[in-house]
Structure 1
Amino acid sequence: MAYVMPINRTPQKQYAIGIDPDVKKNGVALYCRIAKRILELSLKDFDATIAYISGFDLATVTVYVDAGWRNRNPQYHDVKIPDRLKEHPEAAARYLLGVSNRIANDVGRNAATGQLICEQLRKAGYEVVEVKPTSAKWKPADMKQFTGIDTKNQEKIDAARLCFGR
């Protein structure tokens, strides 16, 4: 039997922080790799998010940011036309255009917030991993099953999913 060289891996940092960026409030989750559980789950504005992470030693934390801007077509969203407008094609078209534009604007602003968070943290020396979102999202029941935490806030759930088990 041949000798197999051990793989030299850099040890994982003690904490993983997941951030789901949003213009108003970012979902922020703190996962402890030693305890293997979420220690904190909260909503923070931009400044509070940066200040919170700045309280951690660079050597102890890896930050995972939901990078929606990495999706091929970030402007695709399924907009449902209300029943009352289905019989009025012109009104339905105006509604569809207005909602689509608002969604595209919100997606763009959230992407810019996420990019700024990544930039600020990298400038400060933190290890930042941009995570391309997957189509599978955790629902509140999934969050409860995997982490034992009961919350219905999707920003918190998405932040927890980013760092849980990493």
Structure 2
Amino acid sequence: MKIGIDPDCDKSGFALIYQNQTELTTLTFFELFDRFGQLINSFGKDNIKVYVECGFLNKSNWHRKVQGTSAINAKIGERTGANFEKAKKICEMCEYYDLKYIKVKPTRKKLNAVEFKAITKIEKRTNQEMRDALMLVFGR
């Protein structure tokens, strides 16, 4: 079983691929915690591998490139930091559950819904977090 997680401040993208089944949704941090518990109880921790997108692995000076007021830049920094912390907490959750996990450096370009459907053949309506989560595990 492969799980891809695209951390987000509110709800993280969650994609699960197991045999010919795919689950694609968004979950709050505690919904994710509960879902991991359910999966471990059903399949065992040795059958689960988690891929977590970790934006903090990218080195960037985004604040030098952004033009705008200091308030706008501060808000961007706040959300970026919160997103990084969410990814770190999800990794910590994997360690707590003793799950195999891989920190993935975000390198792919974002896919829009049309591109996503063409690649995956999934017709379900998706948001960016769901698409990013599935692309972490698609084809692995």
Give the distance between the partners of 2:61 and 2:22, measured in 1 at CA: 31
Give the distance between the partners of 2:107 and 2:38, measured in 1 at CA: 30
Report what 1:137 is aligned to.
110
Report what 1:116 is aligned to.
89
Report what 2:6 is aligned to.
20
Superposition pairs of residues 9-158 of structure 1, within 5 angstroms: 15-32=1-18, 34-35=19-20, 39-56=22-39, 57-73=44-60, 75-76=62-63, 79=66, 95-150=68-123, 151-158=125-132
* 1:28-85 residue CA offsets vs partner (Å, 9 max, x unmatched): 01112x32xx6111111000011112222211110000100000116458657xxxxx
Secondary structure of the residue aligned to 1:136 is coil
Give the distance between the partners of 2:13 and 2:25, measured in 1 at CA: 6
Q: CA deviation at 1:123?
A: 1.9
Amino acid paired to 1:160 = L
TM-score, normalised on structure 2?
A: 0.86
Structure with greater helix share of residues: 2
Give the distance between the partners of 2:2 and 2:117, measured in 1 at CA: 19
Structure 1 runs of 4+ off > 3 angstroms? 74-80
Amino acid paired to 2:7 = P
Unaligned runs of 5+ in 2: none
Larger Rg: 1
- Equivalent residue pairs, number: 135
Report what 1:165 is aligned to.
139
Give the distance between the partners of 2:6 and 2:61, measured in 1 at CA: 15
Q: CA deviation at 1:122?
A: 1.2
Q: CA deviation at 1:24?
A: 0.7
Indicate the percent of aligned positions where both proteins have the same amino acid. 31
